């Protein structure tokens, strides 16, 4: 049985107007925990049991009253069904007022993962009213870890935190510094930074003779951890991070835009009037060049809001000018991975998206999209290149009753083609299928949106 003499305490991770999230240090040899709570109301003095078989070291209690005080306690249960002493906290935890929660608390920050090991980039929403700065707090994502402040920044809405070596990952929260006592935002989603070579325990660390600074720098670059920077006098800090190709556009960066959404921003390119934006979900097993999907074929501005980002894996974005002197250099460097805070609404949306994905797997590839052809009654049909595919079949259908799909090209080696003589006022749809590669046995892609040639 475990030693009970260790001093432990329940800590508060987050308080909203109607809920609290608590955490506690893992008790050695415990197989689960009993959780109880009570109010400080003398008319309700008794402890109420919430759960008897909690497997982890944190829990969220919902349906609480605003501006009310509560106590929590947990008791470890061991394999032989014996129960340990209660662990609680000396001072009560208090929920926010409804006004604080809905009108004054900031949205949870978003966290991106730069190429630099042991570092994270924390970004939060800009505040309209005058503030003296922002107070940042962080905690390790492990049971019983407390919040601690690490920076009171200026009015900038982004900070890079280095030397993050915990294997459990981290959470962050932020609040504006004003003349009033503002509440903290909800915590960010737990995120673990890339790990550096010195923390790779699977590789032996033999003793070595002292090296010069030049030799150490050369070895660091050979290990793949050298960080280059794109020097742009107008760039925000986040644009400076991550891997890049010297002659490409700088990578896009992000701003918060509400639950399940992010504002993607990029640097304006000289002579460009439009930009193509692509996105990929970070899926284990995908290479850096797999999984990209065009979400906007031509955007005239340099920022766009992307909604419905429910994945807990995170996303990356890249952009390219469709015209101008930089148009021939391909897509920008890839953005840092962005992981949005996870909520119950987002988890529910992931379930719905998963069901839709199960239906989508019957299709060989994403639907085609369009570009202007600079020719009357013509349009450029474009589709996403597929791994290990050398040729595609393209079909077209007029959007009129009784019309059927017709193959207009049986073997195309490129991923775009100009279709001429499109006179119908009803518009046209296109679909495409690979002739070889891993998905050749699947059905044609989903139909494109309706295209009108003028």
Whether 91 and 28 map to the same domain: the answer is yes
Residue span of the structural domain in which 86 resides? 11-96
Res 239: pLDDT: 34
Per-residue pLDDT of the chain (454 residues; tens, 9 = 90+): 444 444 578 999 999 999 999 999 999 899 999 999 999 887 777 899 999 989 889 998 989 999 999 999 999 999 998 999 999 999 999 999 988 888 878 888 888 888 788 888 888 877 767 788 889 999 998 899 999 987 766 677 888 889 998 888 899 999 988 888 889 998 987 888 877 654 444 434 434 434 443 444 344 333 333 222 222 333 333 333 334 455 578 888 887 777 778 889 888 888 899 999 999 888 766 667 777 888 888 899 999 999 888 777 788 999 999 998 888 888 888 888 887 776 655 556 555 655 555 455 567 788 888 887 778 889 999 998 887 889 999 999 998 888 899 999 999 999 999 999 998 888 899 999 999 988 888 889 888 888 888 7
Do 80 and 145 lie in one domain? The reply is no
* CB burial readout 211-225, b (16+ within 10 A) else e: eeeeeeeeeeeeeeb
| Residue 250 is assigned to a structural domain of this protein | yes
What span, in angstroms and rounded, lies between the C-alpha atoms of 134 and 26? 32
Asked whether residue 242 is domain-assigned, the answer is: yes
Residue 451 lies in a domain: no
Residue 327 sits in the same domain as residue 247:
yes
* Integer angstrom CA distances of residue 298 from 82, 247, 253, 384: 65, 22, 18, 15
Whether 64 and 92 have beta carbons less than 8 Å apart is answered as no
Sign of CA dihedral 398, 401, 407, 413: positive
Distance CA 386, CA 373 (A): 23
Which residues neighbour 328 within 8 Å (Cβ) at sequence distance 6 or greater?
none
Query: Does 273 map to a domain?
Result: yes
Distances (CA, A) of 26 to 7, 87, 88: 12, 11, 13
- Domain membership of residue 160 (yes or no) is yes
pLDDT at position 349:
57
Answer yes or no: do 251 and 352 share one domain. Answer: yes
Q: How far apart are CA 320 and CA 332, in angstroms?
A: 6
Do the domain assignments include residue 204?
A: no
Q: Which of 165, 196, 227 is the last residue in one of the domains?
A: 196
Write down the pTM of the prediction. 0.55
Report if residue 310 sits inside a domain.
yes
Query: Can you tell me the distance from the alpha carbon of 257 to that of 292, in angstroms, rounded to the nearest whole number?
Result: 22
Q: What is the pLDDT of residue 233?
A: 32
Contact 273, 259 (CB under 8 A): no
Contact partners, residue 242, CB within 8 Å, separation at least 6: 114, 115, 251, 333, 334, 335, 336
Residues 376 and 290 in one domain: no
Q: How far apart are CA 284 and CA 286, in angstroms?
A: 6
Alpha-carbon span 295 to 81, nearest angstrom: 55
Q: How many domains does the chain have?
A: 4
Q: Kindly report the number of other CB atoms within 10 A of residue 117's CB atom.
A: 20
Q: Does some domain include residue 209?
A: no
């Amino acid at each position: 049985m475990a030693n009970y003499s260790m001093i432990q305490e329940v800590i508060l991770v987050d308080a909203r107007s109607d809920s609290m999230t608590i955490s506690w240090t893992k008790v050695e040899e415990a197989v689960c925990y009993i959780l109880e709570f009570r109010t400080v109301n003398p008319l309700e003095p008794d402890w109420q049991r919430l759960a008897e078989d909690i497997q982890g070291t944190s829990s969220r209690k919902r349906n609480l009253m605003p501006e009310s005080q509560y106590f929590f306690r947990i008791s470890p249960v061991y394999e032989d069904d014996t129960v340990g002493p209660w662990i609680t906290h000396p001072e009560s935890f208090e929920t926010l007022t409804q006004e604080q929660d809905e009108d004054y608390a900031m949205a949870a920050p978003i966290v991106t993962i730069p190429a630099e090991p042991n570092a994270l980039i924390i970004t939060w929403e800009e505040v309209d009213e005058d503030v003296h700065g922002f107070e940042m707090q962080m905690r390790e994502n492990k049971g019983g870890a407390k919040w601690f402040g690490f920076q009171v920044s200026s009015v900038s809405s982004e900070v890079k935190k280095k030397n993050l070596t915990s294997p459990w990952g981290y959470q962050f929260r932020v609040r504006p510094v004003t003349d009033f006592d503002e509440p903290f935002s909800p915590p960010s989603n737990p995120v673990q930074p890339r790990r550096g070579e010195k923390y790779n325990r699977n590789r032996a660390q033999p003793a070595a003779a002292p090296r010069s600074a030049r030799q150490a720098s050369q070895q660091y670059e050979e290990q793949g951890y050298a960080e280059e920077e794109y020097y742009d006098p107008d760039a925000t800090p986040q644009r400076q991070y991550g891997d890049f190709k010297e002659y490409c556009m700088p990578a896009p960066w992000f701003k918060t835009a509400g639950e399940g959404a992010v504002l993607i921003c990029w640097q304006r390119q000289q002579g460009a009037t439009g930009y193509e934006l692509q996105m990929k979900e970070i899926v284990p097993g995908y290479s850096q060049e797999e999984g990209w999907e065009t979400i906007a074929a031509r955007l005239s501005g340099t920022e766009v809001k992307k909604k419905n980002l429910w994945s807990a894996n995170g996303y990356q974005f890249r952009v390219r000018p469709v015209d101008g002197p930089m148009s021939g250099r391909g897509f920008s460097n890839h953005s840092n991975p962005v992981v949005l805070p996870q909520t119950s609404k987002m988890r529910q949306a992931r379930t719905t998206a998963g069901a839709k994905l199960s239906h989508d797997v019957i299709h060989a590839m994403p639907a085609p999209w369009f570009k202007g052809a600079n020719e009357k009654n013509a349009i450029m049909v474009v589709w996403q290149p597929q791994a290990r595919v050398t040729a595609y079949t393209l079909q077209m259908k007029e959007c009129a009753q009784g019309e059927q799909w017709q193959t207009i090209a049986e073997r195309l080696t490129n991923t775009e083609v100009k279709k001429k003589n499109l006179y119908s006022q009803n518009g046209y749809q296109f679909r495409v299928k690979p002739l070889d590669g891993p998905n050749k046995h699947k059905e044609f892609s989903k139909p494109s949106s309706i295209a009108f040639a003028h």
